[in-house]
């Protein structure tokens, strides 16, 4: 297991190195959440220092903000920069059409906000997360008092909702927005964009982890340090 972990780390590294080629001096960069982004910060910091770049970052979570600050990188917000030049983020699963599932870290609401706001979006990850069709449970952010209604509605749709349990306390995981996080098992997902709309149409579902073609480019890293770039016709508002 440790060997496989090291292999995947090398695969992620290759996607990270390719993605940071797109970071240029003076940019405002959205910074995603998760283990891949935590791995990326050292490479980003090195590039900034070597080139004496001035870069401002917009974090998508408390975790990403702390990682940036601990590495003495400059943090800003959408209030100061409502249209970031670039967003770099990871994913939990992605298909070749550019549809992704994110939210394993529970930060999908702000990740989706910054993705929509950014001029260019790049998702990075390892080859194990590239699939023909999305099939892992979909994170959703839930208004607590709406939970009974949401569960009943999903049961009628034959979709299984499981509240995400906290490991540090009794009860469900609470998002940074003060809401509860659940995961919806929809099996093989034939139409991710439609499912995203259906889930968000249920009152009390505040956001989903389905990111339907919200990136311009998907960068997949492989063990041999090679990469695959998938260009996407990004859906814009």
Active site residues: 111
Q: Is 171 left (phi over 0), alpha (psi -120 to 50) or beta?
A: left
Task: Give the DSSP H or E segment for 13.
Answer: helix 2-19
Neighbours of 136 (CB within 10 A): 16
Q: What are phi and psi of 28, to 5 degrees?
A: -105, 125
**Nearest residue to 85 (alpha-carbon basis) of 106, 114, 63, 111:** 114
Query: For residue 75, what are the CA distances in angstroms to 68, 72, 106, 138, 196?
Result: 7, 9, 21, 30, 31
* Residue 236: strand, helix, or coil: coil
Q: Which residues contact 118 (CB under 8 A, 6 or more apart)?
A: 30, 83, 84, 85, 86, 87
């Amino acid at each position: 297991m440790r060997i496989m972990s090291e292999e995947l780390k090398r695969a992620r590294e290759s996607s990270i190195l390719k993605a940071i080629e797109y970071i240029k001096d003076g940019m405002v960069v959205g910074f995603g959440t998760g283990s891949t982004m935590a791995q990326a910060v050292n490479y980003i910091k090195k590039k900034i220092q070597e080139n004496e770049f001035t870069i401002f970052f917009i974090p998508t979570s408390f975790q990403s903000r702390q990682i940036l600050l601990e590495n003495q990188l400059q943090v800003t917000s959408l209030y100061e920069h409502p249209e970031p030049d670039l967003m770099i983020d990871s994913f939990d699963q992605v298909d070749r059409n550019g549809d992704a599932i994110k939210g394993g870290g529970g930060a999908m609401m702000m990740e989706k906000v910054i993705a929509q706001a950014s001029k260019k979006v790049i998702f990075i990850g390892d080859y194990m997360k590239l699939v023909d069709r999305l099939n892992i449970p979909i994170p959703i952010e839930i208004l607590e008092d709406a939970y009974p209604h949401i569960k009943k509605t999903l049961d009628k749709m034959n979709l299984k909702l499981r509240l995400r349990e906290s490991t540090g306390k009794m009860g469900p995981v609470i998002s940074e927005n003060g809401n509860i996080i659940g995961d919806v098992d929809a099996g093989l997902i034939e139409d991710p964009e439609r499912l995203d709309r259906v889930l968000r149409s249920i009152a009390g579902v505040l956001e989903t982890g389905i990111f339907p073609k919200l990136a311009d480019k998907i960068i997949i890293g492989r063990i041999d340090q090679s990469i695959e770039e998938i260009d996407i016709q990004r859906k814009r508002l």
